Every structure is written in C-alpha cells, then in structure tokens.
C-alpha cells in the first residue's frame, strides 16, 4: 500500500519484521508442544525459547540474503533461525512441519489482529453516524429518488440508515474475524504424517486460534470472506460518501465537508470547496472490491495445494486490511465533521421544489374527498405540470383549480411537512446498539 493511504499501525502489523516474529513464535510453540509430548528434550525446548533470535530489519535482510540461495523464503527463514539459535537445539526448529503450517498459521494470527482493528474502527464509524442521526432527526430535507425530488425525509433518517448499514458490516467483520481465527500444523498434505495432532492443538490454543482440517494449506474461502467484509464495508462508506457528494453540489447546497483554515479547494479557483474526501473514499471503495475478486480467484487450488495464491495474497491481504482501516477512519472523521445546512434544505423543500413533493398527499386527499384514484391522479398530475411550467407553487395552482374541491383544512394537511415526518423518530430505536 502506498504511504498516502497506509496507517502506521497497520503497516507495522504487516511488516516483514512482525511476520517473521509471528512465524518464529509458531515454530517455538511447536517445539514446546513436542517437548511436552516427549519427542524432544525439555532442555532443548527451553533453549529455543531462551535463545529466541531478536527479529529486526537486520534479521529480515539475513533471510533475504539466504533466500537468494535457497529460492525458498520459509526454508531461508528456518536456516537463519537455526543458525542464530545454534546447534544441536536449533535442529528442532520446523521439526515435522511444512512451510504452510507456519506461514498460514502466522498469517491467520496477523489477520485476526488486523480484523480486530477493523472491528474497532467500524464500531466508531457506526456510532458517529448514529450520533449524527440523533442530533439531526428533526431537520427536514428533500428525499430524492432517481435523482428527482421526492417526499421529505430528514437528515437524521439518512444518517440512521447509513449507521444501520455499517452495523451490518460490523457483524460481517466479526464473522470474518472468527472464520479466519484458525490454524493448522498437520504436515505436508494435512494428514499429520510426521506431527502429532496435539501439537496443532497446543499451538493454536496459545495463539488464540482454533485448529482446522486442511490440506497443506488452510482453505482460502476463509481469506476471501475477510476480503468480502472489507469490500462490503468499503461499499457502505462509498454509499455515505456518494450522498455527501450530491448534497455538496452547488445547486443543492445542503451539506459540505469540513473545510480547515488554510485549506484550498482548487489550485485555480479560490471559491471552490470540493468534496475531495468523499470522492477519494468512493474511489478507494473500488480498489477494495478489486481485492475481493483476486481473493475469490485464490480459492481454487490444485489438489492439496499449489502456490498460485501466495504471490497474490502477499499484495492483496496487507493492502486490503490497511486500506480498509484508512477508509473507515476517514469516513468517521467525515461523519463527525460534516457541515449541514438545514436552512438551505428547507428552502429547497418548501420553495425550490414548488411543493411538487406533496403530490401523493394531495392525491390521497382527493381520494378521501370522493374522487377515484385514477381521477385524482390525473388531476394532480395536470396541476403539477402547470406548476412546473409556470413556476408557480403547486398549492397556489390547486387553490385556483375548481375541480379540486378540497377544504382549506384538507389542503393544509396535504402540504404539512410535520405530518409527513410524524414517524421520523421511530428509526432511532434501531440505533440502540449493544456492542
């Protein structure tokens, strides 16, 4: 992931230093489990723990140099570890294991840690949206369907629906986290041919994982589920950001991204306050969906394994998790800082719409007054067309039309925003999250 979109905590989590450190912990835990089973001397297992190499950039370079000879990264890692631990104890490193036992299990540990961050940040985004929903539930705004003025809604309803969508993605992230919290130390094709299953159980228990049946590799539909959770979350953010972009348009003017002192919206036009963050989030959501496609392609492997998934995962898994955290954190800042213009929203609703958005209420009022539905529909449709063509408020057109025999009370009720939004607070009960 390029530094521009890479939070430091996630970069460190997926660094080679952290990766090798986790792999080494898997190796030593396996040796300690073998010791408990009487396979290797307890003193040798203790020596591995005591002489555990420090993993730093110098260690990473040593592995890279060794890989230039072995042309196998895990074998190079094992060689360097054994050399630094020393013999004869170092010979127990990787005993009975295959590369994927260590690599896959360590990767799952890392993905669990990363998903824990995703879950924490997603909860923060959901809560920020829910807070804005509660604060703005009474602020009317035009609803829009097909990009055309529709009946009124409220700012708070919009925020609430976004919060609920993010909450569903939070549940997806939790499920994906549990799905990937597995490990395997079952040997070359997963049959425990040279390793006792109790070693797998011991190592996984120490790492907070659940042992899982596997071939040589852990099934990649698990990793694809993590990528789906990231892509779905990115799409939820895109949905929110796309709404902000529309409401920020000059002819709409109902919301605006926070604009800091000294910020410039355009290098050429000083008046501009472009929704650049929202546009960025929409773009990055596309990238997250792209990672998902590659993850799905990684699921089907030859027989008990091939390595066509490996090169792909080295790119997409760190990038997807890192980018997801970036996107969610930025979306949270946007949700908290979004500037609302309720006066402009009311102007658009009550003046600029010409009252056309009350057409359904007017239709129903005519039905209540004794008209057939089709007759009422045609009357309102004609009145709306005349209002639109003459730029006259629909209520004035209806008042002047003798065929629409509505009492002043029925007419007032039909154009009453408060009546239409009378149930607006009902949605707030859905925002009482427990976790």
- 158 plus 249 within the same structural domain: yes
Phi, psi of 259 (to 5 degrees): -125, 115
- 111 plus 224 within the same structural domain: yes
Structure tokens at 237: 């953010």
Of 54, 72, 193, 266, which is the active-site residue? Answer: 266
- Containing 340, the helix (H) or strand (E) segment is strand 339-340
Domain-ending residue, one of 341, 376, 395: 341
Task: Confirm whether 138 is domain-assigned.
Answer: yes
Which pLDDT does position 39 carry in this prediction? 96
Q: What angle do CA 435, 429, 155 make, to 5 degrees?
A: 105
> Are the CB atoms for 79 and 88 separated by under 8 Å?
no
Which pLDDT does position 109 carry in this prediction? 98
Q: What angle do CA 342, 344, 349 make, to 5 degrees?
A: 90
- 424 plus 288 within the same structural domain: no
Domain-ending residue, one of 341, 370, 387: 341
* Three-state secondary-structure class, residue 302: coil
- 161 plus 251 within the same structural domain: yes
Task: Confirm whether 229 is domain-assigned.
Answer: yes
The set of residues, in sequence order, having a beta carbon less than 8 Å from that of 143 and lying 6+ positions away, is 149, 150, 151, 152, 153, 357
Which pLDDT does position 380 carry in this prediction? 96
> Distance between CA 356 and CA 336 in Å, rounded?
33
Of 43, 146, 267, 303, which is the active-site residue? Answer: 146
- 126 plus 234 within the same structural domain: yes
- 298 plus 240 within the same structural domain: yes
In this structure, how many other beta carbons lie within 10 angstroms of the beta carbon of residue 298? 21
> Distance between CA 336 and CA 282 in Å, rounded?
18
User: Could you tell me whether strands 148-154 and 140-145 are parallel, antiparallel, or unpaired per DSSP bridges?
Assistant: antiparallel
> Distance between CA 343 and CA 140 in Å, rounded?
9
Residue whose C-alpha is closest to residue 295's, from 287, 116, 282, 303: 287
- 298 plus 332 within the same structural domain: yes
Task: Confirm whether 224 is domain-assigned.
Answer: yes
Tell me whether the omega of the peptide bond preceding residue 306 falls within 30 degrees of 0, making it cis: no
Which pLDDT does position 130 carry in this prediction? 98
Which pLDDT does position 270 carry in this prediction? 85
> Are the CB atoms for 134 and 340 separated by under 8 Å?
no
Tell me how many domains the chain contains: 2
Residue whose C-alpha is closest to residue 180's, from 123, 214, 219, 206: 219
> Are the CB atoms for 326 and 5 separated by under 8 Å?
yes
The set of residues, in sequence order, having a beta carbon less than 8 Å from that of 227 and lying 6+ positions away, is 291, 292, 295, 296, 316, 317, 320
In this structure, how many other beta carbons lie within 10 angstroms of the beta carbon of residue 84? 14
The pLDDT tens digits along the chain (435 residues) read 899 999 999 999 999 999 999 999 999 999 999 999 999 999 999 999 999 999 999 999 999 999 999 999 999 999 999 999 999 999 999 999 999 999 999 999 999 999 999 999 999 999 999 999 999 999 999 999 999 999 999 999 999 999 999 999 999 999 999 999 999 999 999 999 999 999 999 999 999 999 999 999 999 999 999 999 999 999 999 999 999 999 999 999 999 999 888 888 777 888 888 999 999 999 999 999 999 999 999 999 999 999 999 999 999 999 999 999 999 999 999 999 999 999 999 999 999 999 999 999 999 999 999 999 999 999 999 999 999 999 999 999 999 998 888 999 999 999 999 999 999 999 999 999 998
Task: Match 């390793």 to its residue by tokens.
Answer: 195
- 401 plus 423 within the same structural domain: yes
pTM for this prediction: 0.95
Which pLDDT does position 429 carry in this prediction? 96
Q: What is the CATH number of the domain that holds 364?
A: 1.10.40.30
Range of the structural domain that residue 161 is part of: 106-183+217-258+271-341
Which pLDDT does position 344 carry in this prediction? 98
* Three-state secondary-structure class, residue 339: strand
Phi, psi of 69 (to 5 degrees): -90, -50
Q: Judge whether 146 counts as a catalytic residue.
A: yes
- 162 plus 307 within the same structural domain: yes
Task: Confirm whether 388 is domain-assigned.
Answer: yes
Which pLDDT does position 395 carry in this prediction? 96
- 237 plus 314 within the same structural domain: yes
Task: Confirm whether 128 is domain-assigned.
Answer: yes
- 419 plus 323 within the same structural domain: no
Q: Which residues of 343-367 are buried (b: 16+ CB within 10 A; e: fewer)?
A: ebbbebbbeebbbbbbbebbbbbbe
Which pLDDT does position 138 carry in this prediction? 98
Q: Judge whether 303 counts as a catalytic residue.
A: no
**Which residues lie across from 17 on neighbouring strands?**
none
> Distance between CA 262 and CA 434 in Å, rounded?
40
Which pLDDT does position 276 carry in this prediction? 94
> Distance between CA 111 and CA 119 in Å, rounded?
12
């Amino acid at each position: 992931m390029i530094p521009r979109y890479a939070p430091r905590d996630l970069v460190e989590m997926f660094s080679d230093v952290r990766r090798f450190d986790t792999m080494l912990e898997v190796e030593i835990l396996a040796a300690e489990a073998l010791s408990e089973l009487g396979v290797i001397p307890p003193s040798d297992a203790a020596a591995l723990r005591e002489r555990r190499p420090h993993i730093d950039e110098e260690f990473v370079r040593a592995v890279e140099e060794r890989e230039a000879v072995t042309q196998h990264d895990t074998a190079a890692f094992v060689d360097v570890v054994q050399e630094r631990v020393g013999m004869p104890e170092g010979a127990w490193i990787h005993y009975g294991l295959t590369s994927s036992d260590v690599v896959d299990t360590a990767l799952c540990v890392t993905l669990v840690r990363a998903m824990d961050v995703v879950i924490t940040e997603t909860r923060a985004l959901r809560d920020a949206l829910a807070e804005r929903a509660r604060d703005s539930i009474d602020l009317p705004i035009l609803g829009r369907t097909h990009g055309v003025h529709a009946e009124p809604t409220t700012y708070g309803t919009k925020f609430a629906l976004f919060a609920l969508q993010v909450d569903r993605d939070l549940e997806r992230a939790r499920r994906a986290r549990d799905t990937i919290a597995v490990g395997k130390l079952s040997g070359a094709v997963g049959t425990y041919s040279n390793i006792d299953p109790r070693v797998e159980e011991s190592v996984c228990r120490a790492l907070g994982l659940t042992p899982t049946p596997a071939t040589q590799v852990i099934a990649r539909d698990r990793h694809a589920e993590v990528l789906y959770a990231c892509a779905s979350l990115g799409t939820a953010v895109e949905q929110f950001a796309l709404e902000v972009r529309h409401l920020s348009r000059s002819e709409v003017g109902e919301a605006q991204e926070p604009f800091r002192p000294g910020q410039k919206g355009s290098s050429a036009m000083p008046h501009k306050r472009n929704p650049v963050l929202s546009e960025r989030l929409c773009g990055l959501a596309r990238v997250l969906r792209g990672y998902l496609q590659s993850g799905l392609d990684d699921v089907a492997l030859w027989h008990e394994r091939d390595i066509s998934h490996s090169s792909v995962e080295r790119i997409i898994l760190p990038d997807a998790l890192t980018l997801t955290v970036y996107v969610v954190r930025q979306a949270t800042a946007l949700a908290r800082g979004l500037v609302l213009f309720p006066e402009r929203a009311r102007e658009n609703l009550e003046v600029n719409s010409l009252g056309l958005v009350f057409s359904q209420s007017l239709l129903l009022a005519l039905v209540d007054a004794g008209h057939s539905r089709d007759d009422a529909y045609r009357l309102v449709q004609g009145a709306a067309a005349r209002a639109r063509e003459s730029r006259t408020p629909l209520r004035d057109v209806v008042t002047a039309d003798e065929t629409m025999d509505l009492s002043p009370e029925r007419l007032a009720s039909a154009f009453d925003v408060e009546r239409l939004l009378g149930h607006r607070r009902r949605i707030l009960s859905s925002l009482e999250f427990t976790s």
